Structures are given as C-alpha cells and as structure tokens.
Amino acid sequence: EKIQAATGAGVFLYSRAGYGQSSPVGLPRPLDYMQREALDVLPKILDAIGFRRGLLLGHSDGGSIATIYAGAHQDHRLSGLVLMAPHFIVEDISVASIAAIKTSFETTDLKAKLARWHKDVDNAFYGWNGAWLDPEFRDWDICEYLAYIRVPIMVLQGENDQYGTLRQVEIAREECYCPVDFKVISDAGHSPHREAPGATLDAIEQFARAALRDDQGLRGRAA
C-alpha cells in the first residue's frame, strides 16, 4: 500500500510456492530453483495478471529471480528493476550466516516467529536453507544474465547486510550495460524495507517514478 501510494502505480504482490500461504514444494529444492522460478513460473504469473507495463521488485532470492527474468526475456512491458539485497554469486558471508540461522531456527523461538508468516514454516525454511548450504550450490552464479538486461536497475543494500556484501552491488555495476543506480541503506541489514522503511520507500519512489516516466516518454516518441 505504501509503494502504491508513493508511486501512483498498482502493486501485485505474491508469495512463491513454498512461502507464505502458497502451497508447499517438494524438498530438497533443486539447486537451480531460482532459475526455474524466473524462466518457468514468473512469465506465467505476469501473463495471468495481465501485466502491461511496470517494474519488477524483488528481495533477496526475489531480487535474483527478477534479475534472471529480465536478462532472459527482452520483455517490452518491463520498465525497470528494483533489487533489494539481491544475490548474483554465493559469498562466504552468505553461507556462514545461513548456517548460523539454521541453528537459531532449531534452538530458539525463531521458528515460532516465522510461522506467523508461513503456512508450512519448515517447508519454507528448509527449502531455502538446504539449497544454500548444499556444497554444490557454492558455484551458483547468475552474472551472465546481467549483461542482457535492457532496463534501468536500482540496487538497494543494507550497510549491515549479514547475507551479502557490497560486492553484489559492484557486480551489477560491472556486468550491466544498462543504467545501474544503487543506494546503501544506513542502519539496515538484509531487510531494509523492514529495518529502514522510510529511506527504502523514498529510494523506490524516486527510481520508480523516473523509470516509468522515462519509459512512457520513449514509448511516446516511438509511436
């Protein structure tokens, strides 16, 4: 609602399979689960909702999925990407923090807290956690998709992100030929939209309004 009010654009929010109130998935997840989501599932969702023009906004895995989609599909309906704490490669800090949170999930009240948001909390947690901790996942890399993105990108990264470093931002700037803006959100970790909502919303609003305005101008000149 806040994004809709700030940008004036409609917002469609959905939970991927295995999360929220969506159906659970078979475990273990395949290690290319983000590629499958971007290449097989997301196109069907966008078509089903009648997507005509707009931005993709994704957090963490969702940001990676949006990246893969935009790099693999030259979708004329897409005006830009907002990527919050995305992963393009696997870093040591990611694996260490994901291993640590597994211990917390199994020994503290973290599971009960997450259960407020997920119908099948074990399915949601272990599907993600198990894939990222699989030794073969260390070679996961989606940098190849960045070079094929043809819309503006905004990368938002918390300065204290426990799951990734600013190397992720650097990769986007190095690999992309499209404009890449970025903002490091002070006093925020992996979820800047929760930990610093004001600064995060301001950055999204400015980028979204500019991207949608510029895209509309290009379409008008083309017509």
DSSP conformational letter for 115 = T
Amino acid 222: pLDDT: 44
Residues making up the chain, counted from first to last: 223
Q: What is the pLDDT of residues 86-103, one digit of tens each?
A: 999 999 999 999 999 999
Banded model confidence at residue 216, pLDDT cuts 50, 70, 90: low
Q: Which of 201, 190, 198, 131 is nearest to 160 (CA)?
A: 190
Banded model confidence at residue 219, pLDDT cuts 50, 70, 90: low
Banded model confidence at residue 8, pLDDT cuts 50, 70, 90: confident
Residue ranges covered by each domain of the chain: 2-222
The two beta strands, 180-185 and 153-158, are parallel
Backbone angles phi, psi at 38, to 5 degrees: -75, -35
DSSP conformational letter for 88 = S
Q: What is the pLDDT of residues 31-52, one digit of tens each?
A: 999 999 999 999 999 999 999 9
**pLDDT mean across residues, the chain:** 95
2-222 is classed CATH 3.20.20.80: no
Distance CA 63, CA 37 (A): 12
pLDDT higher than threshold 60 for residue 221: no
Amino acid 126: pLDDT: 99
Q: What is the pLDDT of residues 9-20, one digit of tens each?
A: 899 999 999 999
Provide the token pair at 160: 């204290």
Banded model confidence at residue 79, pLDDT cuts 50, 70, 90: very high
